[in-house]
Amino acid sequence: MATERRKHVVAKRAKKRLGDDAVTVVVMRLYVAGRAPNSVKAIANIEAICRQHLKEGYKLEIVDVCEHPRRALDDGVLVTPSLTKVSPSPGANIIGNLSDTSGVLAAMGITTTKQ
């Protein structure tokens, strides 16, 4: 009971901090190929986008397909870099080095917020 109340308080604080349109945490997974150029760019781009538009309301997992190829194949990933939006639904998938910020935001369903 106490835990639930604490969770509720945390959610309220998150809502206050992030604004109404960023209450839920966006969970993403980025598949990359080691430190290859496009992969490095993709990591930098998505991190910048998240910092600017999602603040702390996101979770980003980076999967190196050179180390975990089976995981990528099981997740249906064909090429890297590849960004998958895990939650909230609807899911989305973006291919490439994620340099097109507006395209990424639109595909991810993220509403831009003024800084």
Please report where in the chains the tokens 């998150």 appear, as a residue.
Answer: 14
> Per-residue x/- mask for another protein, residues 45 to 64, rule CB under 8 A?
--------------------
Q: What is the C-alpha separation between 77 and 74, in angstroms, rounded?
A: 8
Q: What is the C-alpha separation between 77 and 22, in angstroms, rounded?
A: 28
Q: Which is nearer to another protein, 54 or 94 (CB)?
A: 94
Residue 30: what are its φ and ψ, rounded to 5°? -110, 125
| Radius of gyration in angstroms for the set of CA atoms belonging to the chain, rounded to a whole number | 15
Within 78-107, the residues that bind another protein by CB under 8 A are 78-81, 93-97, 99
Work out how close the CB of 73 gets to another protein at its nearest, in angstroms, rounded to a whole number.
Answer: 6
| Interface contacts to another protein, rule CB under 8 A | 32-39, 65-70, 72-73, 77-81, 93-97, 99
